[in-house]
Structure 1
Amino acid sequence: MAEDMNSYENALIQRLVLRLPQIDPTDDNLKVDRPAIMSSSVTRSPEASPSLGTLAALPLELLQRISEFLDFRSISRLRRTCLKGRDTVDTVLAYRRTVTHASKALDALGKIGMMRCHSVGALYATLVSRECAACGASGAYLSLPTCKRFCYDCACLNHAIRVAALEICGFTHATADEIFSAYEMFRDSWDFNGFQPNLLEFATGFIESRVDHRGNAIAYGEDWDSALEGLGMRPEKRQALLRAEHTELRMRGTAGTWAKYIFETVYEWLSDPDDGLTRASAAKIQTVALPATPPQDHVMVYKGGPAHYLKRIWRLGDSNRVDFSELYSRLPMDFSPVKNKMVYFVESKRWAHCYAKLTEDNCYPVPAAILHVAMPTDLIGDPTCIAGDDFNWLAFESSCDERSMGIESESLQALVQTSPLLGPVCGNSNAHVEELTDPDQITILEMGGEEPLQYAFVGDEMADELNEKCNGQVWIEDLRSEGLALYREA
């Protein structure tokens, strides 16, 4: 049955299921090393207590038992509180054996943001178990979301794993279960001229149908929280999107487009363990210090977003060439209603950081990054600039297909055919612009009074020119590793 899954779901299983060794808890000779994370000294934070406080009055056996109910993040914090905490945790057999024999499982849980989902005792119980939780056969695989053993075929068919994956992508448990239950029901019977939607497409369609039936949030004063709740988004995802520092960028989309963006971004990352790079391509990427200044006759431009999306620029396999067409505009981060074959960059790294931070906050645990491109000055030395009324009319006309079927003004048509096009950042979503009655209502984004200018490179020919002239001049800086970047030589 596992062979019947589409490639997205196969990749999803690779991310959420991994081999887990089996150990015999009765084996007294079982080797239990002092794990690498168990250093001989304890580094405490300034506010850390010098002792376990009231817990110190409890006997060691009771402290050990309590520790087994802690998740690995909490027990690690307990271990760092003081020497007594370290000594107590180090005597918890379940903790030491799990860290020694299932360290890969802990690493995997950390990467998908689930380190706090399972207790020490629960993971150890799975480590010493043998049977598949579904069929009773030998279970060599651990389901990270459910902390149960499965044989591979049962893992591939397990309902709970997919529901948990949809929860990681931002849905509430009830909504995730509703989506996958419907998907299971219709997966074998749907056949539209030979086409069957995968889980990604099905869930995206689910969001769109909920927008139609339960409403959307488009303008600033509308109830965004209720709209996102109606789309089935978890409270923490809603709260992250609605933070004050994200307000300006949030208004470039609607509740529906942001729900789809969050879900699709996390799902694509979960389903793409290697970030879409071939082994040959990934092997040529190295970590380097970012250049202090651009090369001579070059200027720096930037693009913020999910790290795995930005890495698509290196997806040409064995070739060392870059492919800027992989970064064509994507709603709601980019405003491109007329042409989808546009690559956007911003002049300011600070503004690119805003884009990346928005992704990091809303799409956790997906890593966010900033793409740095040293662009030859002859590519952008004399860009076509659009501002003021021209920019407002361009945004107003280009998103109103029902009203004008595209841009009517010949002068504006000439502008959008040029590349690169330099202009401000539109602060309205496409859906909001369609509701406006006057181009003067278009909002221009600012950043502390500064207008965040962006370049739009239009068309396949321009993408090919970027590929040629910017090859070897691309760096991807992880948001959590400032100053260091991934780089691949030309």
Structure 2
Amino acid sequence: MAEDMDSYENALIQRLVLRLPNTDPAEDNLKIDRPASMSSSVTRSPDASPSMGTLEALPLELLQHISEFLDFRAISRLRRTCLKGRETVDTVLAYSRTVTHASKALAALGKIGMMRHHSVGALYATLVSQECASCGASGACLSLPTCERFCDDCVCKSHAIRVAALEICGFTSAVADEIFSAYETWKETSEFAHSQDLIDFATQFIESLVYHRGNAIAYEDDWDSALEGLGIRPEKRHALLKAEHTELRMRGTAETWAKYMVETTYGWLWSPEKDRLSAPTITVALPATPPQDHVMLYKGGAMTHLQCVWPAWEPDDVKFGFNFGTLFFRQPTDFSPDNSSLIYFAESEEWAHRCAKLADDICYPVPAAILHVAVPSSMIDKATRIADEDFKQLAFKCLQGRNRLGIRRQNLRLYVKASLLLGQVCGNSTAQVEEFTDPEQITIVKMEGEEPLQYAFVGDAMALELNDKCNGKIWIEELRREGLAMYREA
């Protein structure tokens, strides 16, 4: 299995499969032997209820049986409701044995956001079994998304695991199965199969669905139906359509956001955790003020994308150190550059926080973060400052050739037609902008009174300069640990 898992296509299986130990109970091995009775030590909490209410009328055996149909998140909540709940849950063999002897399995499920997908009884039954779900041989691997055991050979060939990976990325079960089945057929018949992996194929599949079923572009469009037509799961659609995300959502289309959540999540699944951040780091409190002669800039988004500025190895070439070039042109953004070699930062930490919150909602279980960078004041003067008037000029001059920001006409035309600059930020519909005769007619809707100010650093040379001059002045704050940040000393 090891050689097969080194391939690009199968790398994500390492994230979705847990190898179970065979003989050593100290390494989370579950044995089939079942103790006749179990003791439970319960500490009384002063504010805990002593009763389970109407559930008290049920016999213990029935409560235990019902509890096995709960997932681990639900049964843990039941255990915390009252003393009787704790006593009852602790006598559920499937729960107590799994928590005691299979903590690694539970931790692995939690990391990929699958804790709520399997019942206590189903997971326990799989853990105490021995057979591969496919061939019946000894199965040493636990498929986290499907809650099945597989042997080494079958886990690398599993259709179900790859379909489950696409579901985690955001597709419905039916569309995920359709994509992977089409991908398998295409690989067998196409001479170009070696040049495209599963996520590229899934991205092109989204594009084909847009062509046949339509897109959501303007504010008044039916975004939910459009995203549903692209095969996106209901919980992902609802997350993107939260009112608090409207301003950011209108900087993309249903197609661009579908691609973003799928590609971001797949990249997180595909990239082994141990390879993401091998440079030594410490956790520190965020600085209250920037260093002297520096300005703080921010960028919010998926942790895996922002961590690319952290070196995983350290050759002499500085460009492989803090690689700011990896931040080039990543959705969400406002401008389509000539060669995609622009790095965007927000002046407002609140704006970056909102970007991170959106990424956290639509790309779960991928962790979201805010990148804090202290940029020398001298470099700020070299950056392209994008503010109210720039938004107006950009939207207005899209049909009049090249503008002063140096952005191609055809790119601007596509962006304005797709309302990427409109909606709640520019405040006008595409049709309105196309009818305007003066850029001052465009209404800019500010974010809670703040100017939507951004800085764009253009090209590889600027990225290398950021690498050099910002070394030792970079913090990555995980959204769920606000106020604390990973920091690497220069």
Give the TM-score category using the shorter length: 0.7 to 0.9
| 2:201 is the alignment partner of 1:202 | yes
SS in structure 1 of the partner of residue 456 of structure 2: strand
Distance 1:382 1:255, change over 3 A: closer
Please report how far the alpha carbon of residue 2 of structure 1 lies from its aligned counterpart in structure 2 after TM superposition: 7.5
CA offsets per residue over residues 46-101 of structure 1, 9 Å max, x none? 7x754111111222222212211111111111110111111111111211111122
Name stretches of at least 5 consecutive residues in structure 2 with no aligned partner. 23-29, 410-419
Please report how far the alpha carbon of residue 357 of structure 1 lies from its aligned counterpart in structure 2 after TM superposition: 0.6
Please say if residues 123 and 147 of structure 1, whose CA atoms lie closer than 8 Å, have aligned partners that are also in contact.
yes
Please give the alpha-carbon distance, in whole angstroms, between the structure 2 residues aligned to 1:210 and 1:5. Answer: 31
Q: CA RMSD in A?
A: 3.0
SS in structure 2 of the partner of residue 9 of structure 1: coil
Please say if residues 187 and 196 of structure 1, whose CA atoms lie closer than 8 Å, have aligned partners that are also in contact.
no
CA offsets per residue over residues 150-189 of structure 1, 9 Å max, x none? 0122111111111111111111111111111111111232
Counterpart of 1:73 in structure 2: which amino acid? R
| 2:478 is the alignment partner of 1:482 | no
Corresponding residue number in structure 2 for 1:312: 308
Corresponding residue number in structure 2 for 1:80: 80
Please report how far the alpha carbon of residue 369 of structure 1 lies from its aligned counterpart in structure 2 after TM superposition: 0.5
Q: Which moved more, 1:350-359 or 1:329-338?
A: 329-338
Corresponding residue number in structure 1 for 2:215: 216
Distance 1:157 1:293, change over 3 A: same
Counterpart of 2:11 in structure 1: which amino acid? A
Task: Choose which of 21, 24, 46 in structure 1 pairs with 2:31.
Answer: 24
CA offsets per residue over residues 10-43 of structure 1, 9 Å max, x none? 321011101124543236599x9x9xxx985366
Please say if residues 64 and 89 of structure 2, whose CA atoms lie closer than 8 Å, have aligned partners that are also in contact.
yes
Please give the alpha-carbon distance, in whole angstroms, between the structure 2 residues aligned to 1:275 and 1:396. Answer: 47
| 2:144 is the alignment partner of 1:137 | no
SS in structure 2 of the partner of residue 216 of structure 1: coil
Please report how far the alpha carbon of residue 436 of structure 1 lies from its aligned counterpart in structure 2 after TM superposition: 5.3
Please say if residues 302 and 367 of structure 2, whose CA atoms lie closer than 8 Å, have aligned partners that are also in contact.
yes
Please give the alpha-carbon distance, in whole angstroms, between the structure 1 residues aligned to 2:54 and 2:84. Answer: 12
Corresponding residue number in structure 2 for 1:408: 402
Distance 1:155 1:458, change over 3 A: same
Corresponding residue number in structure 1 for 2:55: 55
Please report how far the alpha carbon of residue 449 of structure 1 lies from its aligned counterpart in structure 2 after TM superposition: 2.1
Distance 1:443 1:197, change over 3 A: farther
Please give the alpha-carbon distance, in whole angstroms, between the structure 2 residues aligned to 1:414 and 1:237. Answer: 33
Please give the alpha-carbon distance, in whole angstroms, between the structure 2 residues aligned to 1:81 and 1:98. Answer: 21
Counterpart of 1:238 in structure 2: which amino acid? R
CA offsets per residue over residues 420-441 of structure 1, 9 Å max, x none? xxxxx944699x9799525737
Please report how far the alpha carbon of residue 7 of structure 1 lies from its aligned counterpart in structure 2 after TM superposition: 3.9
CA offsets per residue over residues 440-473 of structure 1, 9 Å max, x none? 3766452112112110000111111111100010
Corresponding residue number in structure 1 for 2:165: 165
Please give the alpha-carbon distance, in whole angstroms, between the structure 2 residues aligned to 1:163 and 1:264. Answer: 15
Q: What's the TM-score once normalised by structure 1's chain length?
A: 0.86
Please say if residues 336 and 342 of structure 1, whose CA atoms lie closer than 8 Å, have aligned partners that are also in contact.
no
| 2:232 is the alignment partner of 1:233 | yes
Corresponding residue number in structure 2 for 1:250: 249
Please report how far the alpha carbon of residue 336 of structure 1 lies from its aligned counterpart in structure 2 after TM superposition: 2.7
Please give the alpha-carbon distance, in whole angstroms, between the structure 2 residues aligned to 1:486 and 1:178. Answer: 40
SS in structure 2 of the partner of residue 455 of structure 1: strand
Please report how far the alpha carbon of residue 271 of structure 1 lies from its aligned counterpart in structure 2 after TM superposition: 1.1
Counterpart of 1:268 in structure 2: which amino acid? G
SS in structure 2 of the partner of residue 188 of structure 1: helix
| 2:458 is the alignment partner of 1:458 | yes
Corresponding residue number in structure 2 for 1:264: 263
Q: Which moved more, 1:380-389 or 1:18-27?
A: 380-389
Please report how far the alpha carbon of residue 483 of structure 1 lies from its aligned counterpart in structure 2 after TM superposition: 0.7
SS in structure 2 of the partner of residue 10 of structure 1: coil
SS in structure 2 of the partner of residue 149 of structure 1: strand
Distance 1:20 1:333, change over 3 A: farther
| 2:325 is the alignment partner of 1:325 | yes
Please give the alpha-carbon distance, in whole angstroms, between the structure 2 residues aligned to 1:27 and 1:242. Answer: 48
Distance 1:412 1:19, change over 3 A: closer
Q: What's the TM-score once normalised by structure 2's chain length?
A: 0.86
Please give the alpha-carbon distance, in whole angstroms, between the structure 2 residues aligned to 1:387 and 1:128. Answer: 60
Please say if residues 109 and 115 of structure 2, whose CA atoms lie closer than 8 Å, have aligned partners that are also in contact.
yes
Please give the alpha-carbon distance, in whole angstroms, between the structure 1 residues aligned to 2:36 and 2:55. Answer: 32
Please report how far the alpha carbon of residue 216 of structure 1 lies from its aligned counterpart in structure 2 after TM superposition: 0.6
Please give the alpha-carbon distance, in whole angstroms, between the structure 1 residues aligned to 2:467 and 2:369. Answer: 20
Q: Which moved more, 1:374-383 or 1:67-76?
A: 374-383
Corresponding residue number in structure 1 for 2:287: 291
Corresponding residue number in structure 1 for 2:25: none
SS in structure 2 of the partner of residue 11 of structure 1: coil
Corresponding residue number in structure 2 for 1:156: 156
Please say if residues 337 and 407 of structure 2, whose CA atoms lie closer than 8 Å, have aligned partners that are also in contact.
no
Please say if residues 250 and 422 of structure 2, whose CA atoms lie closer than 8 Å, have aligned partners that are also in contact.
yes
Please say if residues 323 and 467 of structure 1, whose CA atoms lie closer than 8 Å, have aligned partners that are also in contact.
yes
Task: Choose which of 26, 41, 44 in structure 1 pairs with 2:43.
Answer: 41
Structure 1 segment 278-427 matched on structure 2, within 5 A: 279=278, 281=279, 284-318=280-314, 321-381=321-381, 385=385, 387=387, 391-395=391-395, 397=397, 407-409=401-403, 411-413=404-406, 426-427=421-422
Distance 1:214 1:140, change over 3 A: same
Name stretches of at least 5 consecutive residues in structure 1 with no aligned partner. 417-424
Please give the alpha-carbon distance, in whole angstroms, between the structure 1 residues aligned to 2:358 and 2:45. Answer: 32
SS in structure 2 of the partner of residue 227 of structure 1: helix
Distance 1:8 1:357, change over 3 A: farther
Please report how far the alpha carbon of residue 291 of structure 1 lies from its aligned counterpart in structure 2 after TM superposition: 1.4
Distance 1:10 1:434, change over 3 A: farther
Corresponding residue number in structure 1 for 2:413: none
Please give the alpha-carbon distance, in whole angstroms, between the structure 2 residues aligned to 1:479 and 1:68. Answer: 33
Corresponding residue number in structure 1 for 2:15: 15
Corresponding residue number in structure 2 for 1:419: none
Please report how far the alpha carbon of residue 375 of structure 1 lies from its aligned counterpart in structure 2 after TM superposition: 1.2
Please give the alpha-carbon distance, in whole angstroms, between the structure 2 residues aligned to 1:427 and 1:152. Answer: 51
Distance 1:249 1:61, change over 3 A: same
Please give the alpha-carbon distance, in whole angstroms, between the structure 2 residues aligned to 1:456 and 1:13. Answer: 37
